[in-house]
Amino acid sequence: MRTTCDSMVPCLWISVWRRSCCEAIQAGLTELSDQVPTAKPRSASAHYLPITFSPNYLITEIANSDIRESSHCLVLVALMSKVGLILIVEDNRMLAETVGTFLENKGYEIDYASDGLEGFRLARENRYDAIVLDGNLPRMDGLDVVRGLRLEARLSTPVIMVSARDTLEDKIKGLELGVDDYLTKPFAAQELAARLQAVIRRDRKELAGEILKVGDLTLDPHSFRVNRAGRNLELSPLAMKLLQILMRESPRVVSRRELEREIWGDSLPDSDTLRSHLYNVRKIVDKGFDEPLLHTVTNVGYRLSTLPAESASASNS
């Protein structure tokens, strides 16, 4: 199923004035990165960059290249004609071919594995934009694949699990292990394509972001590594997601409903599940340190900040 791309489509260009290039990029990059331009500027001195990059990376590339001498320059961001590279792990070859063909017609490149062990190997050796993973696989179960990717390989590649297991407990178990979305068989290929587009867009935005930092706590979304005051912290995939949301929104108070929707989507767990996971996050992030960072704001939500919880209402208003 693997296809190749041998041509560039129109580029996204950012007009950068030398005097204020840093400010212009940092102010406009997020908005511009979602646009799909219709014409490619002609320039003999085009400077190409990867599709996912941070503002600081772009500034560094400008500083290290000959375009820094120009008072006005064009930075060209190369966009490949393929939408993304997808790994399908499915033991039903007919289903895999049907889905793969549909996605190829949508512009995706497809890799295929017929069992969990081969899928796990491919996922570790290649950089995929997303993985479509069957829940019930030979040689290595789908949930074990996810567990290995998140905990052993420390990969944040988005995973959409497709499975005949349709109980709420099955969905929650998958999401807690690090599945990004869950689709019950049988499903429409159009819905899968829409969900792929959503998880890939979200992942690219996170990859383009900087290392998150609150006080002496840091989280690298690229490598799934958390460190506080020089000490490495080990968190489960779900705890990592919760911490990432809270650090991303810091110092804003994040409501319980926001956290539940972002973690579990429509498959909401019972009322004590979120509280239990946040307790584990607090135990790992705050235990043994002088200053607590994770605060519960009564009747409002949760806040990760160096400021005390009672300051949350004022800063959030």
Residue 180 has pLDDT above 50, yes or no: yes
Reading the block at residue 72, the tokens are: 């006005």
Average pLDDT over residues 42-56: 41
Q: How confident is the model over 5-17, as a mean pLDDT?
A: 33
> pLDDT exceeding 70 applies to what percent of the chain?
68
Contact 143, 177 (CB under 8 A): yes
Q: Confidence class of residue 138 from pLDDT cuts 50, 70 and 90?
A: very high
pLDDT computed for residue 132 by the predictor: 97
β-bridge mates for residue 72, sequence order: 17
Is a pLDDT exceeding 60 seen at residue 45? Answer: no
Is the distance from CB of 58 to CB of 78 less than 8 angstroms? no
Cα angle 128-133-137, degrees, rounded to a multiple of 5: 130
φ, ψ (nearest 5 deg) of residue 95: -65, -45
Write down the pLDDT at residue 208.
Answer: 55
Q: What is the pLDDT of residue 177?
A: 86
pLDDT for res 280? 92
Which phi and psi angles does 87 have, rounded to 5°? Answer: -105, 120
Question: Poorest-confidence range of 35-39, 104-108, 200-204, 250-254?
Answer: 35-39
Region label for 289, one of left (φ > 0), alpha (ψ between -120 and 50) or beta (otherwise):
beta
The tokens of 278 are what? 């946040």
163, β-bridge pairs: 184
Structure tokens at 125: 């050796």
Asked if residue 25 lies in contact with residue 14, where contact means CB atoms within 8 angstroms, the answer is: yes
3-state helix, strand, coil in the chain (%, to 5): 45, 20, 35
Mean pLDDT, the chain, integer = 74
Residue 185: per-residue pLDDT: 92
For residue 44, pLDDT beyond 50: no
Dist. CA 170–CA 165, nearest whole Å: 6
Q: Is the peptide bond before 251 cis (omega within 30 degrees of 0)?
A: yes
Question: How confident is the model over 69-79, as pLDDT tens digits?
Answer: 443 344 433 33
For the chain, what percent of residues have pLDDT higher than 90?
A: 35
> What's the confidence (pLDDT) of residue 28?
44
Long-range (24+ apart) CB contacts under 8 A made by 2-8 are 2/109, 2/110, 2/111, 3/82, 3/104, 3/109, 3/110, 4/109, 5/80, 5/81, 5/82, 5/109, 7/81, 8/40, 8/78, 8/79, 8/80, 8/81
Collapsed DSSP state (helix, strand, coil) of residue 194? helix
Indicate whether 315 pLDDT > 60.
no
- The structure tokens listed for 289 are 């340190």
pLDDT tens-digit readout, 209-241: 578 899 999 998 777 789 999 999 998 888 988
Tell me if residue 255 falls in helix, strand or coil: coil
Residue 25 pLDDT? 43
